[in-house]
């Protein structure tokens, strides 16, 4: 069974509002290429990023952070130890953590490391189609380095099987994103091809998922909501307005605009949530019932309620 998640879904906006309000501390062990961009994306949505990557401190920090992101992009012996320690500490503390298995399947060492990390029960596994299929054991699916060689829709069955086997949520990024808990699938359309022209957008998505989970969303809601928010921001950032008649902004302008759009979406969702809370607190029960229209049904609530809180081209 499949449903569609977009920015207009009330659960997406409320999840982003929660990040803006809670300001979760997100411990990122990510790759050196994208660390700064990931931090800026998290700041734009209201989260508090920290990049504590040494093995001596990663476990202690993971135990106090609201959520943890582990991204396998650039590895070393020190980083390997830090990631394993952080994953074990986050799991022991009951804190959600996200695994981004960059280039798994293409290289033996990182594939083995990813499987060791899976022993510590990530709340969410997010990758492109090749990475997810390789992690699920599908032969011949290894990507070309960090690039997928198959479409996201082709990985849905493997993602569902992996989610069932691990008891976790698996998110497949691509032209359309798919999020599954092994029983249900949420489809997240949107985004823009310019998201492939700025390094680190997909890696930052893992951080946004961690932030949603750190603000209290269950893993299914966190993964689907984060995907929908980034897709919406990407579409808005690629708007021709202000970039010249009929022109899509170049990658430099797009990267800055993406941060601005995330900032605007987070601020708008927080303001809307605050206004709704204020209205509810000042209205009498009878007045509120008379004035309030029926609430919109949350997107695919049967799937998204499962679990406790905690483009022309592959665009993410």
Distance CA 238, CA 127 (A): 23
Write b or e for each residue in 216-235: b if 16 or more Cβ atoms lie within 10 A of its Cβ, otherwise e: bbbbbbbbbbbbbbbbbbbb
**pLDDT band, very low/low/confident/very high, at 247 (cuts 50, 70, 90):** confident
Question: What is the rounded average pLDDT for all residues in the chain?
Answer: 86
State pTM to two decimals.
Answer: 0.86
Q: What is the DSSP letter of 172?
A: E
| 39 backbone dihedrals φ, ψ, rounded to 5° | -60, -40
Check pLDDT > 60 for residue 76. Answer: yes
Check pLDDT > 80 for residue 134. Answer: yes
Check pLDDT > 80 for residue 149. Answer: no
Check pLDDT > 50 for residue 44. Answer: yes
Check pLDDT > 50 for residue 223. Answer: yes
Between 244 and 40, whose confidence is greater?
A: 40
101 CB neighbour count, 10 Å cutoff: 26
Between 297 and 70, whose confidence is greater?
A: 70
The gap from C-alpha 97 to its chain's centroid, in whole angstroms, comes to 11
**pLDDT band, very low/low/confident/very high, at 37 (cuts 50, 70, 90):** very high
Residue-level pLDDT at 3: 74
Distance CA 25, CA 194 (A): 29
Residues 2-241+300-304: name the CATH superfamily: Ribokinase (3.40.1190.20)
């Amino acid at each position: 069974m499949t449903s569609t998640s977009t920015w207009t879904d009330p659960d997406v906006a409320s999840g982003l509002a929660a990040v803006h309000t809670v300001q979760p501390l997100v411990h990122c062990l990510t790759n050196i290429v994208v660390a700064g961009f990931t931090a800026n994306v998290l700041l734009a949505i209201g989260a508090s990023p920290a990049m504590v990557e040494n093995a001596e401190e990663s476990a202690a920090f993971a135990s106090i952070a609201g959520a943890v992101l582990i991204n396998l992009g650039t590895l070393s012996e020190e980083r390997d130890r830090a990631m394993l320690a952080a994953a074990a500490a986050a799991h022991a503390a009951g804190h959600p953590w996200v695994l981004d298995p960059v280039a798994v399947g293409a290289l033996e060492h990182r594939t083995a490391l990813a499987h060791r990390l899976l022993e510590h029960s990530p709340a969410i596994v997010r990758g492109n189609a090749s990475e997810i299929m390789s992690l699920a054991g599908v032969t011949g699916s290894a990507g070309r380095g960090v690039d997928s060689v198959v479409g996201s829709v082709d990985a849905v069955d493997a993602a569902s099987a992996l989610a069932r086997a691990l008891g976790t949520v698996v998110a497949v990024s691509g032209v359309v994103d798919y999020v599954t808990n092994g029983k249900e699938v949420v489809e997240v359309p949107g985004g823009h091809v310019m998201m492939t022209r700025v390094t680190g957008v997909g890696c930052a998505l893992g951080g946004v998922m961690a932030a949603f989970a750190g603000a209290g969303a269950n893993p299914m809601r966190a993964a689907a909501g984060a995907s929908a928010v980034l897709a919406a921001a990407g579409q808005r950032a690629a708007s021709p307005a202000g970039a010249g008649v009929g022109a899509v902004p170049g990658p430099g302008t797009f990267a800055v605009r993406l941060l601005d759009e995330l900032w605007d979406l987070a601020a708008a969702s927080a303001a809307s949530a605050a206004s709704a809370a204020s209205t509810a607190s000042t209205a009498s029960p009878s007045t509120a019932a008379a004035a309030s229209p029926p609430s919109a049904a949350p997107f695919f609530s049967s799937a998204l309620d499962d679990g406790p809180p905690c483009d022309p081209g592959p665009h993410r």
